[in-house]
Amino acid sequence: MTQPQDLTWLLSNLVNQVPHTRSALLLSTDAIPRFYYGLDRDEADKLASLASPLCSLVQEVGKCFGGRQGMRQANAELDDGTILAITAASAGSILTVLADSKVNAGVLSYEMQQLGKKVPNSLATPSRHSTPEES
């Protein structure tokens, strides 16, 4: 199995192209930081451990009340005005961005969706459990 290329440059482009965006993190759905920009390693680990269950929660809300399993994006505004945006990237990957309150949320959302389409499926974390169909 070949290792995927370093995608930090994609995250860097997102942060630098969307004004008032501070950092971006690409993580696996089981909270493993894969690539990050604008964060140190400890911050990336902490943000990954918080973003992964939040993404799962939003997906469950979608199943229960939206009729579908997918998630486009979840956004939260923190007390200090920081914007937290989370979106599913490729299968098994999550894109998380932190931005200032002055960010244009529509532009950020669009750019996150575009970046998500560029993330290779090779980043997906393999399932740890076999499904009934595999048995």
Statement: the pTM of the whole predicted model exceeds 0.85 = no
The pLDDT tens digits of the residues spanning 110-129 come to 999 888 888 776 555 555 55
Domains and CATH numbers, the chain: 8-119 (3.30.450.30)
Cβ atoms of 92 and 123 within 8 Å: the answer is: yes
On the 0-12 / 13-18 / 19+ scale of CB atoms within 10 A, 83 is buried
Q: Which two tokens stand for residue 98?
A: 């932190």
Distances (CA, A) of 92 to 44, 64, 80, 135: 17, 21, 31, 22
Return the closest-CA partner of residue 99 out of 14, 16, 20, 10.
20
For the segment 53-88, what is each residue's pLDDT rounded down to a tens digit? 998 888 888 888 876 667 778 999 999 999 999 998
